[in-house]
Amino acid sequence: MIYQLIQQLINQAIASNLMEPSDEIYARNQILSLLHLGEFKECGTETQLDTPDLLEQLAEYACEQGIIEDIFDEKEIFTSKIMNCFMARPSTVNQLFYEKYNQNPIEATEYFYELSKNSNYIQMKRIRNNIEYKVDTKYGELDITINLSKPEKDPKSIERELAAKKNDYPKCLLCVENEGYAGRIGHPARSNHRMIRMNLQGENWFLQYSPYVYYNEHCIVLSEEHRDMKITADALKRLLSFVEQFPHYFVGSNADLPIVGGSILSHDHYQGGHYDFAMAKAEDDWNFELDRFPDIQGSVVNWPMSVIRLRSKEIGHLVEAGEHILSTWRNYSDESVEIRANTGDTPHNTITPIARKKNDLYELDLVLRNNRTSEEHPLGIFHPHQDVHHIKKENIGLIEVMGLAVLPARLKDELREVEKFILGETQTVANYHLDWAKGLKEQYQSIASPSTVESIVREETGKKFLKGLEDAGVYKRNEEGKAGFKRFIMSLS
């Protein structure tokens, strides 16, 4: 049986263009070594399994033979090493990428994306576990994802991780040193990981895909240098330089302050991909001109958060206008709408920038952010408020800003309980959902049925996410907010 599994995996690798048929014997011998096997027996392969299933069975064999321990991290490290037996070295991957890039950038990214999936670096089998749907709103269709792709670690792995000696290599999950790194307890396996070298404004940067993609070709662009994320004019230049090189992609950065920033602020990086979020499709709410930048088309976007959109054919002009808005915003206060630039030496204002190209125009979206807290809103004044924490309590980062909710796995079962509560099949739900569930039951009890209740709860969950986005908007979508936004725009001239 073990030889059948090995041969099936080799066949899959050849079929998915991970390697050439002439590399078969070499790859087989590498896998035999990992499995502590000294021979190979020719065998039939009538049953065809997918790569992730084959890897699971090979890992189980390794556990049974005492080659590795039966714990999550060791199995991940082992299967990553197996897939690396089929992988070309980074230099070869980069050579092939840029050969395709010279023909068409789309061919290059499609090649690298397929490579990352076929090598099981992108864990597509786990990603398919995610619950994904869209909710129609007055701002367009919001994307909702309940994230079920990251498996829970077993108690042994957690115990080993707590006991493991601290190691600062690689310094973080985004460092270039992760490329080909075997992994260890508490740090993910990356033997089958590859990165594309690129130049952004004279610096070495790297392109990779997220191992748990949330949308099509969800990529990460990271600095060679392990340094804190900063939103500056140089950052705007790099974002626009990226879309100049890959005009079919958008790219954006999380904000650079706690609460409004992303989960990793210690490594300068961006996220992008080949996907149009609802925010990218949102129309202009109202337009404005900047006296200092007459060739820039400026608008405020019809979106729950506070978004300034700049358009121009010239990247340099966009950067100059964007830097002017950023520097003005960092020092801007308007107490009438609770915006304060600083508390003592602590800054509060920053932006979430996003770049893309549409036809012959470059677009630069600047989402205004403020991370102040108050007694009423200790997690953030411009952060999802208490009434939506049962659905979304985490930061509103770049992906959420654009209209994709990444919701916690607990909601899979909890929302099912809410559905049962509405139908009268149970009287208990999680305490933090209770008021919401009672309101939904009162509103929908007369029309809810086993065939409709799921769509009702999904739509109402989307409304909660939308409310979180509205909470995060520094200028609310009302007359007072619009007047405040216009005061800021006037301050730019």
CB 80 within 8 A of CB 191: yes
Give dist(CA 255, CA 261) in Å, integer.
4
Position 417 scores a pLDDT of 97
Whether the predicted pLDDT of 156 surpasses 80: no
- 392: Cα within 13 Å, side-chain hemisphere: 28
Structural domain contains residue 419 = yes
Whether the predicted pLDDT of 301 surpasses 70: yes
- 397: Cα within 13 Å, side-chain hemisphere: 17
Whether the predicted pLDDT of 143 surpasses 80: yes
Structural domain contains residue 493 = no
Query: Cβ neighbours of residue 435 under 8 Å, at least 6 residues apart?
Result: none
Name the band, by pLDDT with cuts 50, 70 and 90, for residue 45.
Answer: low
Range(s) of the domain holding residue 439: 405-472
Structural domain contains residue 394 = no
Q: What is the mean pLDDT of residues 361-378?
A: 97
Position 385 scores a pLDDT of 97
What would the DSSP string read from start to end of 31-79?
HHHHTT-S--------S---HHHHHHHHHHHHHHTTSS-SSHHHHHHHH
Q: What is the pLDDT of residues 435-478, one digit of tens each?
A: 999 999 999 989 999 999 999 999 999 999 999 999 999 999 99
Position 159 scores a pLDDT of 78
Whether the predicted pLDDT of 167 surpasses 90: no
Q: What is the pLDDT of residues 220-245, one digit of tens each?
A: 999 999 999 999 999 999 999 999 99
| Structure tokens, 84 | 């690396």
| Percent of the chain surpassing pLDDT 90 | 92
Name the band, by pLDDT with cuts 50, 70 and 90, for residue 170.
Answer: very high
Structural domain contains residue 461 = yes
Query: Helices marked H in 331-410 — which ranges?
Result: 398-401
- CB-count exposure of residue 426 (10 Å: 0-12, 13-18, 19+): middle
> What type of residue sits at position 436?
W
Query: Residue 6: which of 120, 82, 119 has the closest Cα?
Result: 82
Position 44 scores a pLDDT of 73
**3-class secondary structure, 294:** strand
Q: What is the mean pLDDT of residues 212-222?
A: 97
Structural domain contains residue 489 = no
Average pLDDT score, the chain:
95
Query: Cβ neighbours of residue 266 under 8 Å, at least 6 residues apart?
Result: 172, 226, 228, 229
Position 121 scores a pLDDT of 98
| Structure tokens, 486 | 């216009």
Determine how many CB atoms are found less than 10 A away from the CB of residue 171.
Answer: 13
> What type of residue sits at position 99?
E
| Structure tokens, 278 | 């609802």
Structural domain contains residue 183 = no
**What is the number of domains present in the chain?**
1
Q: What is the mean pLDDT of residues 94-100?
A: 98
Whether the predicted pLDDT of 320 surpasses 70: yes
CA 458 from centre of chain: 21
Query: Cβ neighbours of residue 260 under 8 Å, at least 6 residues apart?
Result: 350, 352, 369, 370, 371, 380, 382, 383, 395, 396, 472
Give dist(CA 22, CA 365) in Å, integer.
49
Give dist(CA 347, CA 230) in Å, integer.
13
Position 47 scores a pLDDT of 67
